[in-house]
Structure 1
Amino acid sequence: MLQSNFLTLIADNMRPSPIMFNVLTQLRKFIPTWKIVPGDDIVELAFRDPKIRQEIRDNPLCYKGRVRLQTAMELYTVTVDLEKKLKDVTMTFLIVHGEDDDVTDPLTSKLLYDSASSTDKTFKLYPGMWHALTYGEFTENTDIVFADAISWINERIARGNSRSERELKSKNDKPPDTDKKKDHN
């Protein structure tokens, strides 16, 4: 299952201009830990449930500052590289994404779904839900996402079991004339 935060392709309106990219590339050599990358409060945007937002803010192990320059540049580089390879994805997958996600654009998940060569792929867009679907949404929404994921997995298990049973049956079933030949020897 791919959740919106596992695949963070960059929306066109969020990409730095080529000039800005070159400037940032040079700056990162000298000040890689600079917290230059502007951005909104990610906790406020990602986690819909106010109780979970507060839990994250109170957790001293959660980084809540701005993204550092080197981190931002690496994330940008890897996502640009990923975009070029989406057609190479052949595995079975389920993508879940909140329609009201202000952290990652749902269109990036749709891009993966449309581009991947996989023959068994599913894209579920949840109306009214935010970024953190499995932890951060209200309980009733999280339950819907998990129920869909479990159902999706169970469907594939059932398909696999049916195929395995057919293969075992055909392997173990002997044609009727096989037994007759043994009797004549």
Structure 2
Amino acid sequence: MAHPIHEANEFSPYGNLTRQEFYLKHHILHQKGFMINRQKMKIYTQSWQPSDLSVKLKGLVGMIHGYSSKSSWLFELNAAVIVEKLEEKMAHPIHEANEFSPYGNLTRQEFYLKHHILHQKGFMINRQKMKIYTQSWQPSDLSVKLKGLVGMIHGYSSESSWLFELNAVAIAKSGFFVCALDLQGHGFSEGPRYHFTNFNDLVNDCLQYFDSARTSHPELPHFLYGESLGSSMALLVCLQQKTAWNGLIVSGVARGSWKKKFIPVWLLNKLIEAVVFFAPSWRVPFFRSPASISYKEDWKRKLEERSPNRHTCGKLTAAVGLQFQKFTEYIERNCHGLTVPILILHGGDDMVCEVTGAKRLYNSVASKDKTLKIYEGMWHQFIGEPNETVEEVVNTILSWIEVRAEVTSAE
């Protein structure tokens, strides 16, 4: 978010705008008046707050100007930036979601309009000649100087739209260009539903799309975020592109330990390869759908299941189970070569991917700038937690990215 001082000029703190146009542009509700003090004097007062009155206010900030100054003019530019900053950090779109729609009572387009988001979507053709759905979000005010680019990769049986995109919008509102794709067999992308036979195909799709996005924004710092399966894809991308990214954020990472809970010993190693050979698309009946144990709040689990793009069965196929085993073992062997700054987030009560995997990843990577944050009591998908926890996690992500974006931009 750019400080309003960038718009000021020699003649006006509001630049070429009127004061009212300035407030409108920055989504500020401004109120003014007079109070009568003990000496019966009229004292001018004013206040600023987000114009969206549905935003839950985070706090009250009183401001007192200096000698020979006043609360308006240049001084109030700092008041405006504080209001915008509080709105950025606080107004996560999850507050508007309900059991039936992540956009609440709004249409998707009304949702973007309310949050001042420019949304673009399309398809790319991958190496296998498949149509892969892509989309991006950024502030609708194109005069805003972007802080960085954030690529996002969703998890297994999820998608880049619906609940997942609420985090994308929250990050975009803070001044970032955010982009994501639907993995093969997920969302609007082509491919057998929730089924793939080679994890490198998914990694190649990510490389193709994010390379294009980064090429379109070469001046920005570049960050990569992945959750669950997406965290493994993000790790694999960064292992291939060692210096291309300025930061990596992984949430709910799987690192070998997941298999003990979901795939019995008899199905592992050579035996699972035999099963895949004869029935690669067989859905393992004793494997619980990840969504059923990923969302702590029941209404959010139901909302996820109501996605128009969701397949009725979210269970792993035998081939996917084998691929999980292969890429987690690959990451296990090679993550010591990871030097990118990394933020690792994990739920203390994650029933899909054990927290020990996150701890081992933290201890194994060679990154000098590495942070491990474990949220006690949190399940696999942090968007499925109470809204206050969702805000806490996203604010942690934003603060981590913003610090490193500033350092990169200053270099």
Amino acid in the other structure paired with 1:85: N
> Is residue 324 of structure 2 the alignment partner of residue 75 of structure 1?
yes
Give the % identical residues.
25
Aligned pair partner of 1:115 in 345, 350, 364? 364
Partner of 2:64 in structure 1?
none
Partner of 1:48 in structure 2?
296
Partners of 1:58 and 1:3 in 2: CA distance: 20
Partner of 1:8 in structure 2?
254
Partner of 2:199 in structure 1?
none
Structure having the higher helix fraction is 1
SS in 2 for 1:65: coil
Q: What's the offset of the Cα at 1:40?
A: 2.6
What are structure 1's unaligned runs of at least 5 residues? 165-185
Change (3 A) 1:125 1:43: same
Cα deviations across residues 133-154 of structure 1 (Å, max 9, x unaligned)? 1x22221100000111111122
Maintained 8 Å contact 2:345/2:374: yes
Q: Scaled by the length of structure 2, what TM-score is found?
A: 0.37
Partner of 1:144 in structure 2?
392
Partners of 2:344 and 2:226 in 1: CA distance: 5
Partners of 1:57 and 1:117 in 2: CA distance: 38
SS in 1 for 2:316: coil
Q: What's the offset of the Cα at 1:3?
A: 4.0
Change (3 A) 1:129 1:20: closer
What are structure 2's unaligned runs of at least 5 residues? 1-224, 232-252
Amino acid in the other structure paired with 2:384: G
Cα deviations across residues 95-143 of structure 1 (Å, max 9, x unaligned)? 111111111011111111100000011111011111111x222211000
Alignment of 1:1-185 (within 5 A): 1=225, 3-5=227-229, 6=231, 7-11=253-257, 13-14=260-261, 17=265, 20-36=268-284, 38-63=286-311, 64-133=313-382, 135-160=383-408, 164=411
CA RMSD after TM alignment? 2.2
Q: Which runs of 4+ in 1 moved over 6 A?
A: none
Partners of 1:2 and 1:127 in 2: CA distance: 20
Amino acid in the other structure paired with 2:318: L
Amino acid in the other structure paired with 1:121: K
Partners of 1:120 and 1:85 in 2: CA distance: 18
Q: What's the offset of the Cα at 1:59?
A: 2.5
Partners of 2:345 and 2:352 in 1: CA distance: 14
Maintained 8 Å contact 1:93/1:121: yes
Cα deviations across residues 75-96 of structure 1 (Å, max 9, x unaligned)? 1111111110010111011111
Count, aligned residues:
162
Change (3 A) 1:105 1:153: same
Q: What's the offset of the Cα at 1:53?
A: 0.6
Partners of 1:36 and 1:19 in 2: CA distance: 10
Larger RCO (alpha carbons 8 Å, 6+ apart): 1
Higher alpha-carbon deviation: 37-46 or 21-30: 37-46
Partners of 1:41 and 1:136 in 2: CA distance: 15
Partner of 1:176 in structure 2?
none
Maintained 8 Å contact 1:129/1:137: yes
